[in-house]
Amino acid sequence: MKKTTAKQHDVVILGAGPAGLSAALHLSKKGIRPLVIEKNPIGKTKKTWLLFKHIIDEYGLKDSVRRAIPKIKFSSYLGSEYSIKNDFLFPVYEEMALEKLCSDARQAGAVIHENEIFCNFSEESDFMTINTSTGSYRTKLAIDAMGNNSMIRDVMNHKNTVLNMGCLAYFLDGTGSADEDEILLYDSFFPGKDYFWVVPLEDGKLMVGLFFFNSIHNGNIREKSEKLRLYIQAKNIKGHVYERRLGNIPLGPQKYLDFSRFILFGDSGNTPLPSSGFSFSQCMDEGKTLCEFADLYLKGESKIDDYKNSILGKKLPGIEVHLLISDMLANFTDEMLNTAIASMNKLDKDFIVSFLSGRDQSINFSIQALKSILSTFSIPELISLTLKQNHFKNIANAYNLLPAIRKAKIGKQFNALVKSMMKKK
Ligand SMILES: Cc1cc2nc3c(=O)[nH]c(=O)nc-3n(C[C@H](O)[C@H](O)[C@H](O)COP(=O)(O)OP(=O)(O)OC[C@H]3O[C@@H](n4cnc5c(N)ncnc54)[C@H](O)[C@@H]3O)c2cc1C
- Encode pLDDT of 82-104 as tens digits: 999 999 999 999 999 999 999 99
Q: What is the whole-number distance in angstroms between the Cα of residue 371 and the centre of ligand 1?
A: 33
| Cα separation, 334 vs 78, whole angstroms | 8
| Cα dist from 287 to 25, 197, 290, 318, whole Å | 8, 29, 5, 19
User: What's residue 183's pLDDT?
Assistant: 96
- Looking from the CA of residue 267, the nearest atom of ligand 1 is 26
User: What's residue 2's pLDDT?
Assistant: 47
User: What's residue 11's pLDDT?
Assistant: 96
Among 12, 21, 47, which is best to mutate for testing ligand 1, by the most ligand atoms less than 8 A from CB? 47
Q: 260 vs 71, which has greater pLDDT? A: 71
Q: Would you give the DSSP letter of residue 6?
A: P
Facing residues of 346 across strands? Answer: none
| Cα separation, 397 vs 268, whole angstroms | 20
Letter string b/e over residues 246-257, b meaning 16 or more CB atoms within 10 A of that residue's CB: bbbbbbbbbebb
Q: What is the mean pLDDT of residues 257-271?
A: 73
Please tell me the least confidently modeled range out of 58-67, 169-178, 336-345, 408-417: 408-417
pTM over 0.85: yes
User: What's residue 125's pLDDT?
Assistant: 80
Answer whether residue 34 shows pLDDT above 50. Answer: yes
- Looking from the CA of residue 42, the nearest atom of ligand 1 is 49
Answer whether residue 191 shows pLDDT above 90. Answer: yes
> Which of 150, 58, 42, 54 lies closest to 94, judged by CA?
42
Q: What is the whole-number distance in angstroms between the Cα of residue 18 and the centre of ligand 1?
A: 7
Q: 299 vs 270, which has greater pLDDT? A: 299
Q: What is the whole-number distance in angstroms between the Cα of residue 130 and the centre of ligand 1?
A: 21
Letter string b/e over residues 372-397, b meaning 16 or more CB atoms within 10 A of that residue's CB: bbbebbeeeebeebeeebebeebbeb
Please tell me the least confidently modeled range out of 28-32, 184-188, 365-369, 382-386: 382-386
Q: What is the mean pLDDT of residues 193-214?
A: 93
Please tell me the least confidently modeled range out of 52-66, 212-226, 298-312: 298-312
Confidence label for 279 from pLDDT (cuts 50, 70 and 90): confident
Torsion on CA atoms 360, 366, 370, 372, rounded to nearest 10? -40
| Cα separation, 211 vs 195, whole angstroms | 5
Among 95, 167, 279, 290, which is best to mutate for testing ligand 1, by the most ligand atoms less than 8 A from CB? 279
Q: What is the whole-number distance in angstroms between the Cα of residue 344 and the centre of ligand 1?
A: 30
- Parallel, antiparallel, or unpaired: how do β-strands 182-188 and 71-76 relate? parallel
> Which of 142, 138, 136 lies closest to 116, judged by CA?
136
Facing residues of 75 across strands? Answer: 81, 187
User: What's residue 4's pLDDT?
Assistant: 57
> What proportion of the chain, given as a percentage, has pLDDT over 70?
79
| Cα separation, 254 vs 93, whole angstroms | 30
H or E element at residue 339: helix 334-344
Confidence label for 253 from pLDDT (cuts 50, 70 and 90): low
Where do the H-state alpha helices sit in 271-315? Answer: 279-298, 304-315
Among 51, 53, 120, 280, which is best to mutate for testing ligand 1, by the most ligand atoms less than 8 A from CB? 280
Average pLDDT of the chain, as a whole number: 84
Is there a contact between 271 and 282 (Cβ–Cβ < 8 Å)? yes
Answer whether residue 63 shows pLDDT above 70. Answer: yes
Q: What is the whole-number distance in angstroms between the Cα of residue 279 and the centre of ligand 1?
A: 9
Q: What is the whole-number distance in angstroms between the Cα of residue 69 and the centre of ligand 1?
A: 24
| Cα separation, 199 vs 380, whole angstroms | 36
Name all domains of the chain by residue range, CATH numbers in brackets: 7-49+93-160+252-313 (3.50.50.60), 67-91+164-250 (3.30.9.100), 326-424 (no CATH)
- The set of protein residues with a Cβ atom below 6 angstroms from ligand 1 is 14-20, 37-40, 45, 47-50, 117-118, 145-147, 167, 245-249, 266-268, 277-281, 283
Q: What is the mean pLDDT of residues 94-119?
A: 97
Torsion on CA atoms 298, 304, 306, 311, rounded to nearest 10? 100
Among 22, 40, 45, 48, which is best to mutate for testing ligand 1, by the most ligand atoms less than 8 A from CB? 48
First to last CA, the chain: 70
Amino acid identity, position 142: A
Q: What is the whole-number distance in angstroms between the Cα of residue 261 and the centre of ligand 1?
A: 22
Residue with the smallest CA separation from ligand 1 atom 22 is: 267
DSSP states along 182-220: EEEEEEE-SSSS-EEEEEE-STT-EEEEEEESS---TTT
H or E element at residue 244: strand 240-250
Phi-psi region of 216 (alpha: psi -120 to 50; beta: other; left: phi over 0): beta
